Amino acid sequence: MKRILMATGAFAVSVVPLHAQNFDDPQEFAKQQEQLQAEPMGPEGQPWLQHIGGEMTETADLGLEAPATVCFSNAGVNNPWRVVGYTNMMQEVANHESIGDFVHVDAEGSDDKQIADINDLLAGGDCDVMIVSPNTTAALTPAVERACEDMPVIVFDRGVNTDCPVTFVHPIGGYGFGIQGAEFIVENVDEGSNVLMLRILPGVDVLETRYSAGRRILDEAGMNIVGAEFTDGDNAKTKSIVEDYLMRGDIDAVWMDAGATAVAAIEAFEDSGYEIPVFVGEDQQDFLRKWQDEDLTAIAPTYPTFQWRTAVIAAARVIEGEPVPAPEWVLPQPAITQDELADYVNPAMPPLHYAMCGCESMENYPDAWGGN
């Protein structure tokens, strides 16, 4: 069923004018490239508290009293990234005495449900501050605007098309992710090398920008891109696609827009009897372990789950009347390199645990994240 929906979606995306949203914006690309180099402000070693650029906004005049009730409208807990992030969040809530009650509503990946959820929370009248992780940008904008009229709102992960929230917490972004991986490939293979690009699915903004940035850098460096394939995030399909490419020629590097199927792609090389080429994965434990065990030439760009902590910290600061970075709280977006690999590999953690969680020093680590 999901496949059919995806097919319909993909078809719709290909028919609807693509210029509706520009996924290859040179200005945004340049901005994020600059932010990757910038020195973040804030306490060192605690990236979830740091920010890149942006002014501070006073929140004392919002007139909240501790302890206050924080309501969280969540797009969903429907993939391992969100599972890890949500765990970070619940653990962070326990750190703040100023947060009395924490109400969580899960939209299960549906725009309609999330809009209804936000309206219900507003009608209930119990919330003092609202955190929103929007399912999609355009659809949730009106609901967030309504919430802004009643209370301070903090948005994180995906944004909304309004500046009414107190702040929008997010890491540097999709272009940054694409840049980090592609630059690593360019540094490690010769000009004209064969690069295979693997993508999850078309039409998702955060993934499209990763791809356009990666593609731009690989093209400019004169790489031979042998293909850009959609894997649906499916291990078996990923492995099959890579096997098919290996039957037709050598591959010198693999760029991926997300790392969940990276190990399956690596196994395709192993099982076909090829050496594992230069690899771009992500910060999932299974990939990091494989990288360490097989001594790969690899990099793991991240879309850090620690931003889920930051959203709670921002809410607590609003309640306490402390200043927050605004209108955007841009978090650092570190990539894991060979030098730091050993710090992030942890065999006790589940395979799809995202290592860049900023959670190692939290009280219930690793049990709450499913570790042993």
Partner 1 sequence: MSDRTETTHARTRRLPQINPVWLLLAALVAGIILMNPGFVEPTGYMNFLKRAAPLAILAAGQVYVITSGGFDLSVGSLITLVVVGSSMLTNNDPAATYWVIPLMLGMGLGVGVVNGLVVCFLRVPSLIATLGMMITLNGLAFLWSGGAPRGYLPDTYRFFGRELVRDVPLVGFIPVSVIVLFVVVGILAWLMHRTNLGRQVHAIGDNPVAARLAGVAVNRVRITAFMLSGLSAAIAGILLGGFAGVSTDVGSGYELQAITAAVLGGAQLLGGRGSVFAAFGGALALTAIFTLLNFLGLPQPVRQVVQGLILIAAVALAMHRRKQTGT
Phi, psi of 87 (to 5 degrees): -65, -45
51 binds partner 1 (CB under 8 A): no
> Degrees (nearest 5) of the Cα angle 189, 193, 194?
120
List 73, 167, 261, 346, residue binding partner 1 (CB under 8 A):
261
Site for partner 1 contains 16 (CB under 8 A) = no
Least distance to partner 1, CB of residue 172, Å? 25
d(CA 117, CA 130) in angstroms, rounded, equals 12
Contact with partner 1 (CB under 8 A) among 42, 350, 365, 366: 350
Nearer to partner 1, 321 or 351 (CB): 351
- Options 54, 109, 142, 370; binder of partner 1; rule CB under 8 A: 370
Residues contacting partner 1: total by CB under 8 A = 45
Which lies closer to partner 1 via its Cβ, residue 54 or residue 366?
366
* Binding residue (CB under 8 A) for partner 1 from 34, 271, 340, 363: 271
DSSP assignment of 278-314 equals EEE--SBHHHHHHHHHHT--EEB----TTHHHHHHHH
Question: How far is it, in rounded angstroms, from Cα 370 to Cα 372?
Answer: 7
Decide: is 32 part of the binding site for partner 1 (CB under 8 A): no
Candidates 75-83, 88-96, 214-222, 310-318; binding stretch for partner 1 (CB under 8 A): 75-83
SS3 content of the chain, % helix, strand, coil (to 5): 45, 20, 35
* Residue choice 36, 64, 68, 84 for contact with partner 1 (CB under 8 A): 84
Q: Dig out the tokens for 168 from the structure.
A: 């929008």
- The yes or no reply on residue 78 touching partner 1 (CB under 8 A) is yes
Told to check if 77 binds partner 1 by CB under 8 A, we report yes
Among 25, 111, 205, 234, binds partner 1 (CB under 8 A): 234
Report in angstroms the alpha-carbon separations of 41 from 23, 31, 284, 337.
Answer: 28, 17, 27, 22
Q: Count Cβ atoms below 10 Å from residue 236 Cβ, excluding itself.
A: 11
289 CB neighbour count, 10 Å cutoff: 17
Minimum gap (Å) between residue 75 Cβ and partner 1:
14
The residues that bridge with 68 in the sheet, in sequence order, are 99
Closest separation between CB of residue 309 and partner 1, Å? 18
Q: Which is nearer to partner 1, 42 or 351 (CB)?
A: 351
Q: What is the DSSP letter of 39?
A: P
- CA 162 to CA 307: how far, in whole Å? 20
Least distance to partner 1, CB of residue 305, Å: 12
Q: Which helix (H) or strand (E) holds 326?
A: strand 324-326
**140 burial via Cβ count (<10 Å: 0-12, 13-18, 19+):** buried
Site for partner 1 in 143-202 (CB under 8 A): 202
- Of 141, 240, 292, 297, the one binding partner 1 (CB under 8 A) is 240
DSSP per-residue letters across 65-84: -SSEEEEEEES---SHHHHH
Which residues contact partner 1 by CB under 8 A?
Answer: 1-4, 7, 10-11, 13-14, 77-80, 82-84, 202, 227, 229-230, 233-236, 238-241, 243-244, 247-248, 260-261, 263-264, 267, 271-272, 286, 350-353, 370
